[in-house]
Chains A and B, each alone.
Chain A
Amino acid sequence: MQHLDEGTIHSWLDGALSADEAARAEAHVKECPACAAAVAEARGFIAGSSRILMALDNAPRGVIPAVAPRKRFDPIVWRIAATLLVVAGGTLVVVRNIGNERNAASTATDNKAVSNPAAALAPAAEADVPPAMVSGAAASQSTAPVAKTAAAPTPVLEFPKKGVPTDSRLDVLPSKRKPIAAGGNVGAGAAMQRENAVSLSAGALSAGPPSAAKSNAPAPSAPLFAPSRVLGAVMADADAAAESPPPRVVGTPRAIGEKRTLYEVAPGDTVLLAEVVQTQLSAFAVTGAGTEPRQTAEKSGARANPGAAKAAAAPDTQPRTVQPLSAPAAAPLGRTMSAETSNGVTTITWIDPATGTTMRLSGKHSREELEGIRRRIEQARAAAAAQKKSP
C-alpha cells in the first residue's frame, strides 16, 4: 500500500473513513514509520488547532474586530493604589486615566488662579486633583470637572456602546466606588471621572467612554476597538485627520519609567522621544472632614499657582494634551539642558516647560538637527492637541 496522504490521515483520525479504509490505514501505519510520524504530527495539529480555537471563546460582547486589540494594564499603579488603600483606611485612592489631562489643562487655563489642592493633601504631592466637587451625583459617571467650569451647559453623554464602557470601569474600582456613591458630598468624585466625560462645544456630541483598552478590565480579551472620547472629535473631521502631520509616530516602544515615541522624520530615519514618567497615580483625596477646606477653596475660586497644578499633572500626562504650544503666544520652550553624542547618536535633554516632564530626544543627527526635529515634533503634538481641543 502506498503512503497515506495528509487528508486521509486526518479523515482517519476524525473517524470519517469507512471501516475497511480505516483498517487498511491502521495496518499501514503500523508498518510504516514515515506514516506513523505523519499521524503523530496530524494529532498534534488537531490538538493544537483545537486549543488555538478555544482561545477565541472569550470574545467580548459588542465589539467589532476591526483592528488588533490593544490592552493596557499597569500593575505598578495598582500596587500603589492597594498600598495606599490599606495604609490610609478610609482614604480613597484613585487612579485616573491618563487621557483626561486635556480637561484638566483646559480647566487650569480657564481659571485665572488655580491652585493645586492636592498639594495640601500631603501624599498627593505628585497628583493632579481635578477640581471636581461632586455632590449627590458623585456616582454619576458622566460628571466631569470641565462640565462644571464650562460656561455653556454642556451635554455629557455616556458612550452608548454596549457592554464595554461602564462595566470595565466598574471592574477597575469596584470597592472604591461604593463609598463614593454612598458618601454624598465627597471630594473624591473626581476619582470616578477617569476619562469619563467630555465637553465639546454646545450641540456637539460628547462621548466619554472609559476606554476599555486603557482600563484594567480583567476580561482576557479586551475590546478590539476601543473608541475613546477623542473619537467624537475625530469623527467630526475624519478626513482632515487622515493626513498625519510630520514627523509621524511610527511606534511606541515599551520601557519602564518612560513613555517612548518613535518618530519618523524622513523615510527610514527615526528619532526616539522619551518622556520620563514618574507615576500614573493621578488623583488622591481624603473623605470626611479633610475634604472641606478643599471644597471651600475651590468654591471660592481662590486657586492659585496654575503652574504647580500643571507640573503636578505632568507625571501621568499625555504631554501633547497639556502643552500650551498650540496657543500663539506659547510659553518659551524649555532650553536644552544637555546634548551628548555617542556612536553617532545624539541625545538632547530638556524639561518641558508646560508639564515639567523631562524629555529626551535621540537620533543619528547633529544637535542642531535634533533641535529642529524637536520643534517639529512639538508643533505636531501641539497641533494634535489643538485639534482634539476644538473638534
Chain B
Amino acid sequence: MTDVERLFRTYNAALVRYLTRRLGDRDWAEEVAQETFVRALRQTSIQNERAWLFAVATNLVRDEARKDMRRRKHLALLAEEERDTMVEPEETTIERAQEAAMARKAVDALAERDRLALLMREEGLDYNEIAEALQLSPGSVGTTLSRARRRLVESYEALQKSREEREKNAAS
C-alpha cells in the first residue's frame, strides 16, 4: 500500500508546477494533481512513483482536455466574436505578461510528446522515468529533449522578433 501522504508531500509541488505549465491554469492543475493522488491511493503498489504519477497526471489531462474541447471551442468563438464587436481601448501591455503569453504560445507549438518530455525533465525526472511515463525507449529521450528545447527556444525567439517588428511598425 502506497503511503499517499508521503507521495503528496514529495511530489505535489513538482506535479502542480508541471501541470500548471502544461495547462496554463493553476486551479485546474491542482485539481488534476489531486485526482492523480486519489488514483495512487487505489494502487496496491507503484514501481516507479514519480514516473507513475506524471504518467497518470498526463493521461488525466488528456482525458479532460478531450471532454473540454467542445466547451473551449465555444468560448473561443465567443471571445473572438467579442473582439470583433468591440473597439479596444488603448493598451500598454505588461512586459511580463507578454513574455508569459509568448512562452505559452511557444510551448503550445511543440509536439505533444516533446512538450511533455521537456516539462517532465524540468521537474527533475530522469531519462528512465520520462521514458516510462511517456512509453518511449530510454535511448530516444535525449533526442526528444534536444528537439523540444531547440524548437521551444527558436519559436520563442521568432515570436519575440515578430513582436519587436510589430512594435516598430506601430511606432513609425
Q: Which residues of A contact B (CB under 8 A)?
A: 5-11, 14-16, 42, 44-46, 48-50, 52-53, 55-75, 98-99, 162-163, 214, 219-222, 224-225, 227-228, 230-231, 234-235, 238, 241-242, 244, 248-249, 252-256, 259, 261, 275, 277, 280, 316, 318-320, 384, 387-388
Contact = CB atoms under 8 A, between A and B. Distances in A.
Given A53-B118, A63-B25, A163-B27, A231 B78 contact: yes
Given A61-B26, A318-B87, A73 B142 contact: no
A53 B107 contact: yes
B24 A65 contact: yes
A73 B85 contact: no
Contact of B103 (A44, A56, A61, A249): A56
A42 B90 contact: no
Contacts of A53: 21, 103, 107, 118-119, 122, 152
Interface in B134-172: 140-150, 152-153, 156, 170
B50 interface: no
Q: Taking chain B's interface residues, is the majority helix, strand, or loop, or is none over half, making it mixed?
A: helix
Given A7-B143, A66-B75, A242-B81, A52 B106 contact: yes
B88 interface: yes
Contact of B94 (A56, A60, A220, A235): A220
A234 B75 CA distance: 11
Contacts of A387: 85
A220 B122 contact: no
Contacts of B81: 234, 238, 241-242, 244
B123 to A, nearest CB: 10
A53 B92 CA distance: 24
B111 to A, nearest CB: 14
Given A16-B126, A52-B103, A72 B89 contact: yes
Contacts of B94: 71, 73, 220, 222
Given A71-B91, A255-B90, A8 B142 contact: yes
B79 interface: yes
B64 to A, nearest CB: 11
Nearest to A163: B27
A73 B24 contact: no
B127 to A, nearest CB: 4
B152 A220 contact: no
B20 interface: yes
B170 A254 contact: yes
Given A45-B153, A59-B20, A66-B75, A277 B82 contact: no
Contact of B78 (A6, A219, A235): A235
Interface of B: 17, 20-21, 23-27, 29, 68, 71-94, 96-107, 118-119, 121-122, 126-127, 140-150, 152-153, 156, 170
Given A65-B23, A73-B92, A6 B103 contact: no
A238 B74 contact: yes
A64 B118 contact: no
A390 B157 CA distance: 45
A319 B96 contact: no
A285 to B, nearest CB: 22
Given A67-B76, A234-B82, A242-B81, 12 more contacts: A45-B149, A49-B149, A52-B107, A53-B107, A66-B75, A71-B98, A214-B89, A238-B78, A238-B81, A253-B170, A259-B88, A387-B85
Nearest to B17: A57
Given A52-B103, A230-B86, A259-B89, A224 B24 contact: yes
A11 B141 contact: yes
A227 B81 CA distance: 11
A388 to B, nearest CB: 8
Contacts of A45: 146, 149-150, 152-153
Given A7-B146, A241-B81, A55 B103 contact: yes
A326 B24 CA distance: 41
Contacts of A261: 87
25 contacts: A6-B146, A10-B143, A11-B142, A16-B142, A52-B152, A52-B153, A55-B103, A57-B20, A62-B27, A66-B75, A72-B91, A73-B91, A74-B90, A74-B91, A219-B97, A220-B96, A228-B82, A231-B82, A256-B90, A259-B88, A259-B90, A318-B86, A318-B87, A320-B85, A320-B87
Contacts of B150: 6, 45
- A-B complex: 4 closest residue pairs judged by Cβ atoms: A7-B143, A11-B142, A7-B142, A65-B24
